[in-house]
Amino acid sequence: MALLRYIAGRLVVYVLVIIFALTVLFFVPRLGPTDPVEAMLAKVASQGAYMDAAQVDALRQSLSDTFGLNGSLLEQYWAFIKRIVVTADFGPSLSMYPTPVMSLILNALPWTFGLLLTSTLIAWVLGNFVGLMSGWKPGSTTSRIMEGVAICLYPIPYYILALVLSILFSYVWKIFPLTTTIRGAPWSWDLVTSVVWNSFLPAMSIVIVVFGWWVISVKAQTTALKEEEFVRYARLKGLSDGRILSRYVLPNAILPQITFLALQIGLMFNGSLITEILFDYPGLGLLIYSAVLQGDFNLLMGTISLSVIAVATATMVIDLIYPLLDPRIRHR
Amino acid sequence: MITVDNVTVGYGTAGFIKAVDQVSLTINDNEILGIAGESGSGKSTLMRAVYGDFSTGLRILSGTVTGRFVDATSGQVIEAQSKNFAPLWWDQLSYIPQGSMSVLNPLMKIEQQVVDGLPARERKGGSHALRQRIAGFFSGFGLEETVLDAYPHQLSGGMRQRVLVAIAAFVNPRLILADEPTTALDVVVQKKILLMMVEIQRRQRNSLVLVSHDLGVHYQITDRLVIMYRGQIVEQGPTAEIFANPQHDYTKNLIASLPRLHGKRAVESMGVLA
């Protein structure tokens, strides 16, 4: 019963957070100076079509109709919430009209998700391993070197690193492609190698920086845990170093790291904006970027709503699975 | 069993701070030895030197701590200096820490914490038989079998301390060292735990060293008492004799400072209780 109440409470908070975020998301872009209808008219005009004032007005009216930009803000807001909550439909993209926003997102999602999930997990496993070792044996040469590397890498912004990597490995030494071009038939080996090849540098730029952060945080955890009384007690029981590390230090050090990992996976839906722009990588980040540039309300709303929902979902999932990992929360 | 010969122990690698100064004493087979003294008198340091816990810069400057253990199964005699005791931990020697929230691993069930570190001779039989034996042993401490499946945070302070005593005693070692095992507990729980420790010692016929600043504790259970002051032993002898006829001024002060009931010395009224 207590468990049901706990889950119900979490679900209510989850829904409220999402509705609040959608509300903010609806109003903020409408406060900006870009008008998608005027942008579209300018685009038409720039393509050389001549229209007199009346025709322009008519087009303006019909564009507003199709984009759902008629009526007062409040009316638009209700229509918007109804559409998203009831049909999960973000409408057509304004800049790539009439492609639905949802299909643009669904095309970009696997790219971002594949890139970031892989690189986040690699960085997490490596970083925690190195951090644990250097916290456990702070004197050893290997841990000093690894820790030094981590401390040097950690403060570098990931986009600077991405820039450096692409200059070094795509321009100076032409090993990896400068921009992402995927070749090969669907589900073919060529496609797989092409994807891995093209994703390598963007992935590295993320792995290296995030790796440093994991090393530093888990090392701090381990150093503190080593001083804990239960570790001293285990040592005075004559337990081997390996057993103390694997059964006493590791489980206690890794718990907070799991929380951070789940949050990172939630944040992933933002895409790594600048990495994707730099490498011309066809993920969510690039999509958000073009939505901002072109005043594409619907697309912007769709991508950002999705990332809000993802973060809220990740947080809820941690809340729901954490009791399985930590007996102190499970048995209260 | 343990012979401490003129030992000086202290801390520091570059400099050296004496905590125990030229101390000699013997821990006999089948006895409860108490070490009393105020904070900073060197009693815990002496105990660490006896256990062989030379971490955090603790080292012996001069003198020796020699152990002589008779292995219960093979009958073999093991003689070693305390700095080489580590292989004997949780075999010939065990240790009861001062109970606090964090002595037990918060993410491990109590049963596993009993089993972790057990010598091979106490593990014989399958894991089911071992669990039955642990459960039986725990019931002697007033701990139900469900405690074995609990995590430390689910137990009260008194239960956790009983668990720590049980863990050390289940090893069935020749020597148990207890560092302020009842200090954080109220007197009722304290008394129960002390009586359990005596009972275990009488049954296992091994040696128990009890470090405590609380003379009342020593009066209740120790056979022999060592009084430490400023790193030195100022008095030692059978507990009853020391309480009846303290020689050293510091001991006299300690005994005089025990709480009184009806103008009599508290130890006398405790004698009535016990």
Q: How far apart are CA A109 and CA A286, in angstroms?
A: 11
**Residue located via tokens 């700095």:** B83
Whether residue B47 is contained in a domain is answered as yes
The backbone torsions φ and ψ at residue B59, rounded to the nearest 5 degrees and listed phi first, read: -150, 160
Residue range A246-290, pLDDT digits in tens: 999 999 998 889 888 887 877 776 667 888 888 888 888 888 888
Q: How high is the pLDDT of residue B240?
A: 92
The verdict on residue B212 lying in a domain is: yes
pLDDT band at residue B264 under the 50/70/90 scheme: low
B90 sits in which H/E element:
none
Task: Flag if B87 and A238 touch (Cβ within 8 Å).
Answer: yes
**Each residue's pLDDT tens digit, A61-88:** 877 776 667 777 888 888 878 877 777 7
Q: What phi, psi does A183 have (nearest 5°)? A: -120, 160
Is B248 inside any structural domain? yes
Nearest to A228 among B87, B94, B102 (CB): B102
Residue A279 tokens, joined: 């490498």
B49 to chain A nearest CA, in Å? 13
pLDDT given at position A66: 66
Residue-wise pLDDT tens digits, B163-208: 999 999 999 999 999 998 888 788 888 888 899 899 999 999 999 9
Q: With respect to residue B268, please indicate whether it lies within any of the assigned structural domains.
A: yes
B154·A331 Cβ contact <8 A: yes
What's the burial of B78, exposed, middle or buried (CB within 10 Å: 0-12/13-18/19+)? Answer: middle
> What is the distance in angstroms between the Cα of B73 and the nearest Cα belonging to chain A?
20
Cα distances (angstroms) measured from residue A38 to each of A1, A43, A45: 56, 9, 10
The 10s digit of each residue's pLDDT in A155-188 is 888 888 888 998 999 888 888 887 777 777 777 8
Average pLDDT over chain B reads 88
Which residues in chain A have their CB less than 8 angstroms from residue B102's CB? 228-230
Give the global pTM: 0.79
pLDDT digits (tens, 9 = 90+) for B78-88: 999 999 999 99
Smallest CA-to-CA distance from B51 within B177, B159, B170, B186 is with B177
For residue B271, name the pLDDT band (cuts at 50, 70, 90): very low
Residue B13 in contact with partner chain A when CB distance is under 8 A: no
CATH of the domain at B231: 3.40.50.300
Query: CB distance A327–B153 less than 8 Å?
Result: yes
Mean pLDDT over A105-112 rounds to 88
pLDDT digits (tens, 9 = 90+) for B229-246: 999 999 999 999 999 899
Give domain status of residue B144, yes or no.
no
- Reported as a single tens digit per residue, the pLDDT across B8-62 is 999 987 788 999 999 999 999 999 999 999 888 999 999 999 999 998 889 999 9
By C-alpha distance, which of B213, B180, B211 is closest to B38?
B213
Q: What are the phi and psi torsion angles at B228 (to 5°)?
A: -110, 145
**Contacts A247 to B, Cβ<8 Å:** 105, 108, 116
Instruction: Give the model's confidence band at B273: pLDDT under 50 very low, under 70 low, under 90 confident, else very high.
Output: very low
Q: Does A331 touch chain B (CB under 8 A)?
A: yes
Flag whether B190 is in a domain: yes
Burial of A129 (0-12, 13-18, 19+ CB in 10 A): middle
CB distance B91–A238 less than 8 Å?
yes
Mark yes or no for CB contact A237/B116 under 8 Å. yes
Beta carbons of B102 and A229 less than 8 Å apart: yes
In a domain, B96, yes or no: yes
| DSSP letter, residue A92 | B
The reported pLDDT for the residue numbered B72 is 75
Q: Is A224 on the interface with B (CB under 8 A)?
A: no
A32-44 average pLDDT score: 75
Cα Rg of chain A (Å, integer):
25
* Cβ contact A328–B153 (<8 Å): yes
> Sign of dihedral through CA atoms A58, A61, A62, A63?
positive
pLDDT, averaged across chain A: 84
Quick one: closest CA in B to A326, which residue?
Answer: B107
Residue of chain A whose alpha carbon sits nearest to that of B177: A236
A241 vs B: CB within 8 A:
no
End-to-end alpha carbon distance in chain A: 14
Range of the domain at B59: 2-101+174-273
DSSP 3-state percent helix, strand, coil across chain B (nearest 5): 40, 25, 35
pLDDT band at A33 (very low <50, low <70, confident <90, very high): confident
* CATH architecture for segment(s) A108-295: Orthogonal Bundle (1.10)
pLDDT of residue A305: 84
**Most A-contacting residue of B105, B153, B160, B175 (CB-CB within 10 A), to test interface:** B105
List phi, psi (to 5°) of A220. Answer: -60, -40
Q: Read off the pLDDT band of A332 (50, 70, 90).
A: low
Contact criterion met (CB below 8 Å) for B153 and B70: no
B135: confidence class by pLDDT, cuts 50, 70, 90:
very high
What is the pLDDT averaged over residues B100-113?
Answer: 90
Report chain B residues whose CB lies below 8 A from the CB of A239. Answer: 116-117
Percent of the residues in chain A that have a pLDDT greater than 90, as a whole number: 14
Please answer yes or no on whether A248 and B53 come within 8 Å at the CB atom: no
**Count of the separate structural domains present in chain B:** 1
Percent of chain B exceeding pLDDT 90 equals 62
CA distance B4 to chain A (A): 20
Q: Classify residue B116: in a domain, yes or no.
A: no
Segments making up each domain of chain A, as ranges: 108-295
Set of chain A residues whose Cβ sits within 8 Å of the Cβ of B80 = none
Looking at chain A, which residue has its C-alpha nearest residue B55? A232
The B232-238 sheet, strands edge to edge: B93-96, B175-179, B207-211, B32-36, B224-229, B232-238
Question: Residues B101, B107, B111, CA angle at the centre, nearest 5°?
Answer: 90
Spatial CA neighbour of A302 closest among A313, A291, A316: A291
Helix (H) or strand (E) holding B9, with range, is strand B2-11
pLDDT band at B274 (very low <50, low <70, confident <90, very high): very low
Question: CA triplet B19, B6, B3: central angle to 5 degrees?
Answer: 105
Could you tell me the CA-to-CA distances from A113 to A120, A198, A202 in Å, in that order?
10, 15, 13
Q: Considering only CB atoms, which chain A residues are within 8 Å of B94?
A: 237
The ipTM (two decimal places) reads 0.89
Q: Within a 13 Å sphere around the CA of A168, how many CA atoms are in the beta-carbon half?
A: 9
